[in-house]
Structure 1
Amino acid sequence: MRLTLGVYVSVEREEGRSIYHCRPLRGPQYASRDPLLSVALSKLGNKLRKSINGWIADGHSPRIGSWLYDSGTQAKTLKLTLVLRDRTLHWKLLVVALPAFERHIAFSPSIPEAAFEVHSLVDLESRASEVYSAWAQRKVSEGSEYLLEDIGESGEMWVEPLEVDVETTVRAKKKSDNIFAALFGDGKTSGSEELHKVGQCLDDLASDYPPAIGRQRLVEEMDRLLQREDRQGVLIVGPPAVGKTAIVQECVRRRAERFRQRRDQKPQVWWLSPQRLISGMSYLGQWEQRWLSILRESAKRDHILYFDDLVGLFTAGRTQDSSLSAADVLRGFLAEHRVRILAESTAEQLAVLRRRDRALADRFHLLYVPSLSAEDALPLTIAAAQEIETRSGRYFHPETIPLIMRHQETFAPDRAFPGKAIEMCKTLTKHATDYVDRDSVLSLVGTQVGAQLTLLLDGLGNQQAIQAALGRQVIGQPAAIEALSRTVIRYSQHLQPPDRPLGVLLLLGPTGVGKTEAAKALTRLLFTDESHL
């Protein structure tokens, strides 16, 4: 059942930006706040939905009827001057008037206990001044005058209707009743309720997402594709850490900003996991009913369902007794263009998808995110580091970012720029106190890979110094020591291709000449101990 509740919205300026504060006009006194109005309303709606559903499930009957929004509700912002015996108060209040037969019941959300009756809205301001003056004078007499200074608002205020989906039946408490319901059905499953159980509304988190720097073209293209009337699925393809999720988050942030002033039901972006779709579903047909109800609700509300593991839909739901998967249920909805699906994958996962179901793969518009070179990713990483500095309050030394790029190019060849460099920047700020410098980077990378990076990054001097360090451990093998030192110096000067091994060495010789000792010496030079051998 869908309820429409009245919400009191006020706006305050904090740190140079507007913050929306929302709370119910009547009913449970929950509150939410966010820089985006749509997100603040969504957060409040989730709190109200969970509370009301919990009361109904426990068999309670809250007076929900008195909380409903009346279409005849009128709200007016009043600037009142209240003259008391010993002081004058200047209040800015929103006064809400509810129709009640041939008169109105008026109150301010700032002083809900001081409600009053008014026969005509023409007299609202004078009647409010009279009632609130008497109320304030009574507070002074009671010794509670300190409360009077905090009453009122400085910014905008208004009343906003908010739709909340709630359950209408009491859940079965006996195990046997649950089994019977699972096997034989207990009525229609609420798609909205199931979405809240197994999914996460990304719109609620939109204000927390950092901007996707340098990906404006891809974000705009994704946003355009997700607004198409044909509701074709969108699959964003790229290597790990290239920034696929950041592009999705930026798109969600822009949509939330665009929709924040809409007062009707807004389409939302919901993250879903294939495994969560089937979690807790023990009986035949349960997960199918859940999945179908979610798809129907999404089709009706024009929601976007976002999967970061699209291939996982092919295994979710399969058992030794059933070959039906979540992908099989989705296939018909995609073919009929009924739902909007957004997913991300690597090129390897896309190849798996095409092998398993080419027809399903072809239902998606492919949006490729290319990997960047370290040089191209450097300005993006610097911009991201500046954003991280603003959020964390910790700062990067100028030489730190190029050092991070160099290490990530060498030690994380399986991940792409700029994601792997940005992830390292975030990790460094978690460990640093105030400043991220060269030593912080060396310490972290040394911990991650076990290499004695200080020696290598200081260049270990030159090839002669490397030969001397190895020669002190391996006696009488100058040719082998020279070959080993050439390999190390090539690495220390960053001359090796980042996608290839540092070197492939075949140590030849009869037993006892020092092959094993040479390998150990090289290991001790590059790493902290011989355990890396």
Structure 2
Amino acid sequence: MDNFLLRTKRNFNQWIIYPQVINKPFYSTSHYFFTKTYGLFVDFWERCTISLLLFMILICSQCKGAGLISGAACPTCRGNEEQALSATLLNTRLFFNFEKVTEWNIAARRAAFTVDTVINFSLRLIGGVGILFLAFYIYRQILSLNINIPLGLFSSDVWNLQSPYLRVFLATFLIDLYTVYRTMRAQELEMYVIKKEYQKNEKRDAQIRSVSINRAFSRFALEVIENAYLFALQNHYSEVLPLHLLAVLIAHPHSNIILFRLGINPGALAGKIKHGLQGLLYQEQQSGQPKRMAHFSPETKLVILNAYMEAHERGGEKVQVWDLWTPIADIEGYAKEILYDLDIETYKMRHVGQWVQVEEDLRRKTAFRRAHSHGGFFARHGMDRAMTAVETKTLNSFSTDLTYMASRGALPPSLGRAKEIEQVFTILQSGAAGVMLVGGIGVGKESIVDEIAARMSADMAPDILRDKRLVALSVASVLAGGGAEGSAERLYRALYEAAHSGNILLFIKDIHYLVGVGLKGEAGASTVGMDAVLTEALQSRRFFVIGTTDYKNYSLHIEHSPLRNVLTRIEVLEPNLEDTVLMLEARAPFIEGKHGVFFTYQALTAAVEFSNKLIHTEHQPEKAETILREVASSVATSRGRRAVVTDQDVAKTIAQKINMPIARLEKSESEKLLRLEEEIHKRYINQDYAVVQVSAALRRARAELRDERRPIANFLFVGPTGVGKTELVKRIASVYFNSEKDMVRLDMSEFQEIGGITRLIGEGETPGLLTESVRMNPYSVLLLDELEKAHPNILNLFLQVMDDGRLTSGEGEVIDFTNLIIVATSNAGTKKVQEYLASGKRIEDIREQFVKKDLLEWFKPEFINRFDDVIVFKPLSEENIQAIAQLILTDIAGKLESKGIKLRIAPGAVVELANFGFDPLFGARPLRRAIQDHVQNALANYLIAGQIGRRDTVHLEPGGVIRIEKAAEL
């Protein structure tokens, strides 16, 4: 084995290759070392990544997995598939036996399947006939003997073995028994994908066994592989490549849903595949190499092995057709390039594959519920499968058994919260009494609990939760009626039964409602609270609790409750875009079923992106799900059932919801960013260097060349007052975020004391000025005006924000700053800038010296380094002031035009006003006052006095003269 390469797949988008001698499993040594060294933390990390770390591809270093060299068997692996290319997963060495994929074996397997199908059908038909004869015999006997049902059927007079009907049944009964035997035998011989399990260390260290995974593929997935081989063989290709698999996949009926969800035009995809196959065949013909029997290339073998891993990751029993799509999009080759050209990347393909799996699971669960519709979703007893628990009457009357519901398929599926679920399992295994899920409203805390119940019912939970029930206790039912004494008694009885039963994991939604509710002693004094009762019960460690609450209620109630000491806090953050899309895929089938429409993957992505950008009062995935429901209802009403919902439909619905023209949602961002300087200069004069630097930084950010864990951009604008620093910030908000209103402005001169930190982040029920503003406007410009006046500790606060892109509010909620443009303005060191300019230095040269030397007198080096760029503004010239005056007067003309009045401005009047408003010390600030005194005040008097009417023309002339030209009377 010394000549093999170990390829460890850390994630599905990157391969890392290690030369390694494989004498024993790689993971046994690493597990021992890490567990002994880092304890519980690393054990948790291992469980979170166990499937990825233990899935290793073993490739022969000489033939690179092909098994052949120049048409002959590889001398190292001897062409053995297990030695040429295989994988290890959870102490099992997996390989696909490609030797069985030959023309003869394919024909033999398909013939055997056909014969087996005919035999099974015939046996079931004969057995059914026998049952019909039995039913007819019983019917005749009932009529002839007039017996009572059902007790009369046990009379010996009823059963006459001489009856030909009964003899036929007895004969077919033996066939029924044989049919049952064949079915059970087929189930025993069936092979399934290895399940994701929580295994003990000694199991992981067991000796590896080798298994052929051919039978773990579904019949349809196996047909795709076989048809790809036959296609390559019949068309004289020497290798079966992923491109051949792709060519066969697009023709398979099970792929139609994949293509539909991704919005792929099958004709366009088929055309690209055909072109690629023609080129491949031409290359083989031109190579001059002798023709040989088609064999599977190493890339195709990797696709098949990774398809098995995809099925393992999603918890599937069999490798399905859609599992083959993701590795084709992941493994380098012409097939991947085709999909990439159609904007189909690995993560999108994996998401859609999981979406299809969710729909399949829901179909099975729906069929199961219909078959068991006579049963309810409340457990009729409190016994576990080991028959060791006791009855829980009181608890049952105030709760719902979630594991029972999960076993009956009554809980919605959950995706995208694997990390939080693993945290729950790890904490419970560590001996903790329970966990507290803390997150914003609508982030999906209950879906985590539903998924835990599903895993418990499917035996995919740790041993500590095996044979236990996850029970949701209704706090409202416990507290309703009977006063505090009755509520306390009901809670105590329910908790006593949970502890005495020994098989309960209790889920309490909004657990903060238990805090502050208690029994009253003499003179109304509180003696004990409900939370104290629960805390005391949990300290017995005889049952577990999962509670949920939001940040505000955690800060107000749980922080001061004894529950804080017994329940471990787990943060449930708002999911990112990819995880939100996954969560929507789990919910989409219910919305589709209700409204009779179908979503594309692009529609789900658009719902997440638009709601992230434009809806700031709710959390994901709730706000995106709300959008999808509204879109589905609108499309079903306008286009009827079975309509397809696209991203354009989502854009239209959101535009109507927030009263924004749809054109602004659909406008090309690339075109706007490429001419960003031009857009800014439409209403901004001078400061070319500043505009160019800001525009370049914003383009880098939009091209995703930035660190996405930090804000979009961090700028420090330095320069004299009145030179346009704040005005440029407004232009950035207007051009980049579509409106000057998308700006959060903080005057840092108000935060000169250290107590200003509390004002910024909030405390208790009082929200912070900074955190609340950013929470409500996560896509905006944050302007920190006059930064040099803020307290140094407040500067340290923003140092964290600019570095980490997040800040925890006083309520404990994590606020996201990664979608902000942070701009700080400062007048620090402006005298130095003016001195440098007076000496004739260029602004580009001034910046380097100013930042490295002069600015350090005001800010620490580590703080300055957090800015993407420090932009030095130069003073305005007289020409700049004149241009600004023209812009201001043009604005006034626009306001008058809305009243039906025209304003004509003489060039001399503009120059005169600019001279009045020019001040080298204060920049353009005096200009607005000059225009206000000489123009706006006079116009206001004329308008109020009624001297100017509609259709009149106002002439602004030098000397401050305002002449009114009255319109002709009609």
Mapped to 1, the partners of 2:379 and 2:162 lie a distance apart of 35
Among 529, 532, 536, the alignment partner of 1:328 is: 532
Mapped to 2, the partners of 1:128 and 1:412 lie a distance apart of 78
- Per the TM alignment, residue 209 of structure 1 is displaced from its structure 2 partner at its CA by 2.5
The reply to whether residue 499 of structure 1 matches residue 771 of structure 2 is no
Give the match for residue 560 of structure 2. Answer: 356
- Per the TM alignment, residue 420 of structure 1 is displaced from its structure 2 partner at its CA by 3.5
The reply to whether residue 271 of structure 1 matches residue 472 of structure 2 is yes
Instruction: State the one-letter code of the partner of 2:403.
Output: D
Mapped to 1, the partners of 2:681 and 2:161 lie a distance apart of 91
Give the match for residue 62 of structure 1. Answer: none
The reply to whether residue 436 of structure 1 matches residue 645 of structure 2 is yes
- Per the TM alignment, residue 220 of structure 1 is displaced from its structure 2 partner at its CA by 4.1
Mapping of 1:383-402 within 5 angstroms? 383-384=585-586, 387=589, 391-392=593-594, 393-402=596-605
Mapped to 2, the partners of 1:427 and 1:205 lie a distance apart of 29
The reply to whether residue 199 of structure 1 matches residue 385 of structure 2 is no
Which is higher, the Rg of structure 1 or of structure 2? 2
The reply to whether residue 489 of structure 1 matches residue 735 of structure 2 is yes
Mapped to 2, the partners of 1:364 and 1:338 lie a distance apart of 14
Output the TM-score relative to the length of structure 1: 0.51
Mapped to 2, the partners of 1:373 and 1:236 lie a distance apart of 18
Mapping of 1:68-467 within 5 angstroms? 88-89=133-134, 113-116=149-152, 127=159, 164=380, 192-206=392-406, 207-223=409-425, 225-226=427-428, 228=429, 230=431, 232-258=433-459, 267-282=468-483, 285-301=485-501, 302-317=503-518, 321=524, 323=526, 324-353=528-557, 355-357=559-561, 359-374=562-577, 376-377=578-579, 380=582, 383-384=585-586, 387=589, 391-392=593-594, 393-433=596-636, 434-449=643-658, 451-459=659-667
Instruction: State the one-letter code of the partner of 1:454.
Output: I
Q: 1:327 to 1:387 in 2, by over 3 A?
A: same
Q: Is the CA contact 1:274–1:312 (under 8 Å) kept in the aligned structure 2?
A: yes
Mapped to 1, the partners of 2:482 and 2:506 lie a distance apart of 20
Instruction: State the one-letter code of the partner of 1:437.
Output: T
**Per-residue Cα deviation, 1:148-205 (whole angstroms, up to 9, x for no partner):** xxxxxx9999xx9x99469xxxxxxxxxxxxxxxxxxxxxxx9944334433332354
Mapped to 2, the partners of 1:426 and 1:113 lie a distance apart of 53
- Per the TM alignment, residue 221 of structure 1 is displaced from its structure 2 partner at its CA by 4.2
Mapped to 1, the partners of 2:579 and 2:780 lie a distance apart of 23
Q: Is the CA contact 1:268–1:304 (under 8 Å) kept in the aligned structure 2?
A: yes
- Per the TM alignment, residue 278 of structure 1 is displaced from its structure 2 partner at its CA by 1.6
Mapped to 2, the partners of 1:396 and 1:243 lie a distance apart of 21
Mapped to 1, the partners of 2:581 and 2:379 lie a distance apart of 44
- SS of the aligned residue for 2:737 comes to helix
* Structure ranking higher in strand proportion: 1
| Structure 1 portions without partners, runs of 5+ | 1-78, 94-110, 135-153, 167-189, 260-264, 469-478, 515-533
**Per-residue Cα deviation, 1:271-298 (whole angstroms, up to 9, x for no partner):** 234343220113x622221111111111
- Per the TM alignment, residue 356 of structure 1 is displaced from its structure 2 partner at its CA by 0.8
Q: Structure 1 stretch 392-401 or stretch 455-464: which is displaced more?
A: 455-464
Give the match for residue 835 of structure 2. Answer: none
Mapped to 2, the partners of 1:193 and 1:236 lie a distance apart of 27
Mapped to 2, the partners of 1:363 and 1:220 lie a distance apart of 19
Q: Is the CA contact 2:515–2:558 (under 8 Å) kept in the aligned structure 1?
A: no
**Per-residue Cα deviation, 1:338-360 (whole angstroms, up to 9, x for no partner):** 33211123344444455313x43
- SS of the aligned residue for 1:113 comes to coil
- SS of the aligned residue for 1:236 comes to strand
* Structure ranking higher in helix proportion: 2
- Per the TM alignment, residue 249 of structure 1 is displaced from its structure 2 partner at its CA by 0.6
Q: 1:312 to 1:164 in 2, by over 3 A?
A: closer
Mapped to 2, the partners of 1:385 and 1:165 lie a distance apart of 31
Count residues in correspondence.
Answer: 348
- Per the TM alignment, residue 422 of structure 1 is displaced from its structure 2 partner at its CA by 3.9
Q: 1:452 to 1:224 in 2, by over 3 A?
A: same
Q: Is the CA contact 1:274–1:326 (under 8 Å) kept in the aligned structure 2?
A: no
- Per the TM alignment, residue 387 of structure 1 is displaced from its structure 2 partner at its CA by 4.7
| Structure 2 portions without partners, runs of 5+ | 1-126, 139-146, 167-179, 185-370, 383-389, 461-465, 637-642, 683-723, 744-773, 786-887, 889-927, 941-970
- SS of the aligned residue for 2:541 comes to coil
Mapped to 2, the partners of 1:291 and 1:353 lie a distance apart of 19
**Per-residue Cα deviation, 1:73-131 (whole angstroms, up to 9, x for no partner):** xxxxxx79779xxx83569x9xxxxxxxxxxxxxxxxx993234759xxx99x959899
Give the superposed CA RMSD: 5.4
Mapped to 2, the partners of 1:330 and 1:128 lie a distance apart of 67
Q: 1:386 to 1:276 in 2, by over 3 A?
A: closer
- Per the TM alignment, residue 499 of structure 1 is displaced from its structure 2 partner at its CA by 1.6
Q: Is the CA contact 2:395–2:498 (under 8 Å) kept in the aligned structure 1?
A: no
Higher RCO, 1 or 2 (CA under 8 Å, sep at least 6)?
Answer: 1
Q: 1:130 to 1:312 in 2, by over 3 A?
A: farther
**Per-residue Cα deviation, 1:461-480 (whole angstroms, up to 9, x for no partner):** 97999999xxxxxxxxxx99
**Per-residue Cα deviation, 1:201-226 (whole angstroms, up to 9, x for no partner):** 32354223332223334334434655
- SS of the aligned residue for 1:306 comes to strand
